[in-house]
Structure 1
């Protein structure tokens, strides 16, 4: 295979250097096979490997601020992703010797001993460069981001870097010793700038999988304050964000589009789970007063999420009747039946999607239903659905075995649907039993 022309290779280099981290990882994986080391692809592979190594060094040096260069909520501290590359390029031009030293120290045995001093020294140089705006590399950042805030983040990077190894312990199980450590980090940040506390928490939160868990750290620093005091303080915005996110997720549970199917139902259930977790987090982190600014709102949110979830669950029986239609008056339906399967048309795909969405929501809210106040409602809805499905399955298996009451082929398709629904409302093992019974019935009828 011919090599790549120089001008085209330059274009590839530019694309690789500007590619997002996720895209670069995918490209590296795609080129990792034998074919990636041959011909023209070998040059691309080397470019990708070189860029991956360079980003590893960059991300080690700038680790405290790297998560800030990503899409975040509008009121959270963040910078455009491309600003990270520009900042690193400016730093390499400003302090090439220190960058070279940092690259040499980015190995496992050095990093096991803690971050080298040169990492923090480079962050300090970058902060000074942003403040001075005296070199082209740093002035290039001014039009695309808030250089004052970015410089402040870099000034706090040494404190954040020291706190990162402790952060998982702070949010998992806070002890008095860990609380003292968090308070010390906060005190050190405020020694740099009196108003640095909120920015410190922003930077730490960006490193958490669930950024709202930073409430635990703030609570420890403030010694679990009351909601009136916290809401009026400089870190009140962190609680306000969580309350706003709770409200947004309740609205999603209330109005999610069942026509989008299973994925949307699971997404709504995740929203309900997140609401439950966030409510618990607030209750544990803040001394809430019933008539306090957050206590009142949280009580309303708890009631609203239960009502929203129950409304979606209560629609399940109606959705089931639409997806698995019945015709009235039947000898086969039995005393408790409401009719027998209507087998005059193929299953409706849209109605199936709607039923699957509701069932997925029901299934995935199991971890949070009880603590959120709708566990009993959920259990009753599942009981009704399972009773209806049991009757339906017995009736339709009769049709499959005998051909009496409808088309056997259509009946088989509805059996498959009913079995898939049982998988959500009970478990996969029960669903598989239904499918085996249907297969046996079809074999007996053949």
Structure 2
């Protein structure tokens, strides 16, 4: 197959250049094997060149690039249109090619020094990068250059004063660039030289632009994963402020954003789709863990009062989380009972019950029970701080006892031949094995599977750890 024509290559180039970084990265990975004079090889070369160009751009504009996402209209913090950064990059490449080449050489020298592992620090390309940023900053004020004018218009369209905020970000970019390698220390240690260094960087930023304080922390947050770790740096700079002082400052949006995110997570936990399967259960459980982490951050780095404001709101959120999780755990009891059905026999007041083994396990009931137990399993590590440790321990132990009792009864019926079909008994035991593993451990699952295979030996059992496949 021949390569694409020049006209088609230009069409593909335009499409690739307008795609988000994530898409370009995905294309690059997908086309790694494309070689030779093929259509895919032509596209691969184009994508590779675009990816390398963006890597250089993102390195040069590293302090502000993480804030350039989507259309730049996010209400959760300061963001700028991704296209604005692309336009500025295009403009600076056209207007300052010598500076771009200097940045390329500096980047290559730093990479070579790092690869050589000579025991000394690699060359820092920061000065070359900052020179390009300074050129872009100056060009933003020059309405004669089309790309920069278009970028400013996009920023202003995304939010009032967007272009001025972007320009301020470029102004303090060198300070943020110096701070980036130190962020790990700033977020893992407190006090002493660490706090002093963070305070100095903040003062340097506001010295350049008095209104740059919040933007400085926004740019730092963009470098952090998760972004709300920036609360630690804010606390260090402000010497662990009390709630009233921080709430009245221009930085009040940062803790409020975390509290809003907690509210969103609590709503998602309350709406967990039991038919969503194990991954839904795990994902919802991770939300509960996230809430405990975020509440810990706010409580640790800000002096709060439980009687009002953020402290009161956070206390209510913790109570809500505990209530939601306990509700989900109690719901799991009913779902497990439905997945391992029992039937009653006998007459009068004294009636006995036993496993209902005359039909295959219900896929829907089993799926819902697995979703609930995957949730319960995921939240176990955050139960103590989340305030639901006692409820979690009590209910999971009760579930384990119920499942183990069910297993013993099924095995007893299978040994005595008191089952209509050994294979149905085996299927119910495999369901119980999957469930017990989530409230005990994997060894419990393996034990039940081995006992089921030994007792119901008329058919080869699935491999240990293999999920039971149930017909709908």
> 1:183-332, aligned counterparts within 5 Å?
183-329=199-345
The equivalent position to 1:350 in structure 2, one of 356, 360, 364, is: 364
Q: Does the CA contact (< 8 Å) of 1:110 and 1:116 recur in 2?
A: no
Deviation at 1:445, TM superposition (A): 8.5
Deviation at 1:20, TM superposition (A): 2.6
Change (3 A) 1:27 1:255: closer
Give me the whole-angstrom Cα distance separating, in 1, the residues matched to 2:93 and 2:197: 34
83-92 vs 342-351, greater mean Cα deviation? 342-351
* Cα shift readout 1:259-290 (whole Å, capped 9, x = no counterpart): 21212211211111111111111111011123
State yes or no: 1:130 paired with 2:129. Answer: no
Change (3 A) 1:377 1:47: same
Deviation at 1:119, TM superposition (A): 0.9
State yes or no: 1:365 paired with 2:418. Answer: no
Deviation at 1:413, TM superposition (A): 1.9
The equivalent position to 2:152 in structure 1, one of 119, 142, 148, is: 142
Which ranges of structure 2 fall in alignment gaps of 5 or more residues? 115-121, 156-161, 461-472
* Cα shift readout 1:82-118 (whole Å, capped 9, x = no counterpart): 3322221011122121112112211214683323312
Q: Report the aligned-residue RMSD.
A: 2.2
SS at match of 2:154: coil
76-85 vs 195-204, greater mean Cα deviation? 76-85
**Which residue number in structure 2 is paired with residue 430 of structure 1?**
444
State yes or no: 1:339 paired with 2:353. Answer: yes
Deviation at 1:58, TM superposition (A): 0.9
Which ranges of structure 1 fall in alignment gaps of 5 or more residues? none
Deviation at 1:399, TM superposition (A): 4.0
Change (3 A) 1:140 1:440: same
- The TM-score with structure 1 as length reference comes to 0.93
Give me the whole-angstrom Cα distance separating, in 1, the residues matched to 2:389 and 2:372: 16
Give me the whole-angstrom Cα distance separating, in 2, the residues matched to 1:134 and 1:176: 48
> 1:370-389, aligned counterparts within 5 Å?
370-389=384-403
**Which residue number in structure 2 is paired with residue 173 of structure 1?**
189
**Which residue number in structure 2 is paired with residue 12 of structure 1?**
12
Give me the whole-angstrom Cα distance separating, in 2, the residues matched to 1:356 and 1:285: 38
Q: Does the CA contact (< 8 Å) of 1:253 and 1:271 recur in 2?
A: yes
Give me the whole-angstrom Cα distance separating, in 2, the residues matched to 1:441 and 1:36: 56
**Which residue number in structure 2 is paired with residue 41 of structure 1?**
40
Deviation at 1:165, TM superposition (A): 0.3
Deviation at 1:142, TM superposition (A): 3.5
State yes or no: 1:419 paired with 2:420. Answer: no
